[in-house]
Amino acid sequence: MAPARAHSSPRVRRGRKPAPSWARLTDDQLLKKRLCDLNLRIEGTPVERCIRRLHAELEEKGLALRPHCWLAAEWFSPDGVPGIAIPFYLSHRRLIRLERRMMREVEGGNTNWLMRILRHEAGHAIDSAYRLRRRRRWREVFGPASLRYPDSYRPRPGSRRFVQHLGAWYAQSHPAEDFAETFAVWLKPRASWKHSYEGWPALEKLRYVDELMRELKGVVPPVRSRAQIEPARLERRTLGQHYRSRQTRNVTSMPHLADEYILRVFGPRPATGRRMRAATLIRQLKQPLCRSVAQHLDASEYLVHQVLRLLIERCEALGLYARDPVRVARPRVERLVRRIARLHLIGSAGRHVL
């Protein structure tokens, strides 16, 4: 009788860490996991290589700043901290797949896109490190950084007063973003910005940044905080709670745009005849609509649920009623939900977290 063979663990290629147990979970199971329990690291990931590349670009320009990086819920560079928070999902392919399913895009999901965002965030970091926004000339060129960030902005696509880097004319959203975008264009290796922006008023901003960075060559930053703000390792929310929060914020950021479409389907209380309240009708159709719209758009039910919640809130606030009987109104309501959900999905493309 042959001796019993010991059970061996799956082979792991040399130099490659074994996949974490949560990487084999289904999406529904993974959404129940807390961020702090995933034990995520930047080390050994493609993100780490891009950070080293960013530092090399800064060194090539003679700048002493090397922004420290950490994993967080979203992209941002905190005021007063010359560092960069990087979304946790970029640290593992399994989380990237989940991000794509939940949000329909992966911000920074390829090397080119990741480097573009890192250069932009490095602009914020260098602003903090050297307190650049306090300079009178900085304010004259870009405007006061103390301006309140708008909930939304209406860009002027034809304007040549701003560089174009991240897309969606993001430099137009705020003076601090204008500087960060201009810095990113200036920092990119072998960039021909003098030629690309010839004749543009934005060229003067690039020349100012070039002059300013020459002044800062080799200068040790006066602000050297290594603080990590809202790191993923301390985030006790589940992934499901994280995505519900993001989708709620994204959907409810456009109530006035939604109103335009809502008023095409629902109207005020009729003077004669009985009609159902619009909010009541949507509540009755909520479950089948959630499934059918999510399937039609290949979107998550979380997103559709938030769209339906927005519709109910707006219909109640506006005091709206159905214009037609339920049988006629249902397909119109479904088209309305699809349209607003699609607006969110399209609107999220190219949007950058502040």
- Asked if residue 20 lies in contact with residue 85, where contact means CB atoms within 8 angstroms, the answer is no
Domain boundaries, the chain: 24-234, 239-348
Tally the C-alpha atoms within 13 A of residue 151's C-alpha that lie toward its C-beta: 8
User: Is 20 a residue whose pLDDT tops 70?
Assistant: yes
Lowest mean pLDDT across 94-98, 241-245, 249-253: 249-253
Other beta carbons within 10 Å of 201 = 11
Residue range 227-254: average pLDDT? Answer: 84
User: Is 256 a residue whose pLDDT tops 90?
Assistant: no
Residue range 86-111: average pLDDT? Answer: 93
Give the closest residue to 302 by CA, choosing from 259, 353, 256, 344: 344
How many angstroms separate the CA atoms of 305 and 349, rounded? 20
Chain segment 56-77, per-residue pLDDT in tens: 999 999 999 999 999 999 999 9
298 phi and psi, to 5 degrees? 55, 45
**Which pLDDT score is estimated for 5?**
39
The overall average pLDDT reported for the chain is 87
Distances (CA, A) of 5 to 2, 10, 12, 75: 9, 15, 20, 50
**Which pLDDT score is estimated for 119?**
98
Residue range 92-117: average pLDDT? Answer: 92
- Asked if residue 176 lies in contact with residue 124, where contact means CB atoms within 8 angstroms, the answer is yes
Name the pairing type of β-strands 83-87 and 68-72. parallel
Task: Please indicate whether residue 283 or residue 299 has the higher confidence score (pLDDT).
Answer: 283
Looking up tokens 């080799």 gives: 218
| Global pTM value | 0.72
Q: What angle do CA 97, 102, 104 make, to 5 degrees?
A: 80
Burial of 176 (0-12, 13-18, 19+ CB in 10 A): buried
Q: What angle do CA 72, 27, 313 make, to 5 degrees?
A: 75
